[in-house]
Amino acid sequence: MHLIVCVKQVPDTTDVRIDPETNTLVREGVPSILNPYDAHACEEAVSLKERYGGEVTAVSMGPLQAVEALRDCIAIGADRAVLVSDRAFAGSDTLATSYAVWSAIRAAEKAWGPAQVILCGKQAIDGDTAQVGPGVARRLDVPQITYALRVVELDADANTITVERRVEKGLEMVVSPLPCLLTCVEEMNEIRYASLPNLIRSLRYEAVIWGVKDLEADPTLCGLKGSPTAVARVFAPPEREPGEMIEGETAAAKVSGLIARLRERLGQSAPVN
């Protein structure tokens, strides 16, 4: 079985600030990490490999330093990693990105066999769009199971996968034919503490790097050219006003203070006793 996991390197948003003047992300000095949801997707791919056998290929698009995120996948237990990196991909929106990632999956299938399950994180923590996974599924023309919480069973003979997914008001059990694309939530699993041999392998690992030509991709669908999204305006939302503290000597005084404030809000005058 061939499992493909799609990952992205993102700035560690716990450290990201918005420059109030330019309204852009301050990325300077912010460390890059493997998108946490993608790490869970990779963990799931590796545990599926351990349950059902097969190989895991990690795929990413990004600048050359994104190999670090792929190294993290190798440490978790992916067998190989491919970085799609080319100037032609610069400025990609989610449409062009899903095209590039789809092209990479197609090339990886050509090299290492058709994939039965493609796994993505539910979204990236920098863009938060959650569009690339579904976009890739659409291009592959395979069913997608978003917000996957648990793989109940993968039946190779029947060529189906049974997945529990998170929906707004509960859980949904879905049976889908293979191949199929899952987007994974963080509750799906706990990312393992990598074994020392895998960690060492990841440190030495040189990812396969593919450009537009290797993917036989259509340059007009890549990067800025292939991105119809136009950013009209970027702004930081206004800061929320802090809550009001109602002071008072005793609990009773605080309560009457609160009632007075609420009445004031509602435009009522104090009751006449």
Partner 1 sequence: MASEQPFTAQADKLDRLEFDVVIVGGGCAGLAAATVCARAGLRPIVLERGRPGNKNVMGGVLYTRPTAEVFGEFWREAPVERSVIEQSLWVLTEDSALKIGYRSKAFAEGTPNAFTVLRARIDAWFAGQAAAAGALVVPNTKVEEVLRDGERVIGVRTSRPDGDVYAPVTIICEGVNPQLTQQLGMQGEIEPRDMSSVTKEVIALPPEVIQDRFHLAQDEGATIELFGDSSARLLGLAWIYTNRDTISIGVGVSLNDYVKTQVTPHDMLQRLKAHPMVEALVDGGEVREYSSHMIPEGGWNKLPQLYGDGVMVCGDAAMLVNAVHREGSNHAIWSGKLAAETAVLAHERGDFSRRTLANYWHRLYREVPTIRDLRKYRYAMTYPEKHRAVLGAYPDLASYAAREMLTVDGVTKREKEWRILRQALRARSVFGMAYDAIEALRLI
- Yes or no: say if 52 and 36 are a contact pair by the CB < 8 Å rule: no
Considering only 37, 102, 147, 210, the residue that binds partner 1 (CB under 8 A) is: 210
- Yes or no: say if 258 and 248 are a contact pair by the CB < 8 Å rule: no
90 is an interface residue for partner 1 by CB under 8 A: no
Considering only 177, 211, 219, 248, the residue that binds partner 1 (CB under 8 A) is: 211
- Yes or no: say if 143 and 177 are a contact pair by the CB < 8 Å rule: yes
Among the listed ranges 94-102, 124-132, 211-219, 247-255, the one in contact with partner 1 (CB under 8 A) is 211-219
| 104/185 with CB nearer partner 1 | 104
228 is an interface residue for partner 1 by CB under 8 A: no
Minimum CB separation of residue 85 from partner 1 in Å reads: 6
Task: Lay out the site mask for partner 1 across 17-36 (x = CB under 8 A, - = otherwise).
Answer: --------------------
Minimum CB separation of residue 228 from partner 1 in Å reads: 26
In angstroms, rounded to a whole number, what is the distance separating the alpha carbons of residues 6 and 121? 8
Distances from the Cα of 119 to the Cα of 81, 152, 186, angstroms: 14, 15, 13
- With a CB cutoff of 8 Å and minimum separation 6, the contacts of 152 are 162, 163, 164, 173
206 is an interface residue for partner 1 by CB under 8 A: yes
Both structure tokens of 3:
């499992």
Q: How many residues bind partner 1 (CB under 8 A)?
A: 23
Characterize the bridge pairing of strands 55-61 and 2-7: parallel
In angstroms, rounded to a whole number, what is the distance separating the alpha carbons of residues 143 and 141? 7
Q: Which residue has the tokens 């034919």?
A: 177
Considering only 90, 152, 156, 203, the residue that binds partner 1 (CB under 8 A) is: 203
85 is an interface residue for partner 1 by CB under 8 A: yes
In angstroms, rounded to a whole number, what is the distance separating the alpha carbons of residues 7 and 9? 7
Considering only 17, 27, 110, 213, the residue that binds partner 1 (CB under 8 A) is: 213
Q: Give the interface with partner 1 as residue ranges (CB under 8 A).
A: 55, 79-80, 85-86, 193-197, 199-201, 203-204, 206-211, 213-214
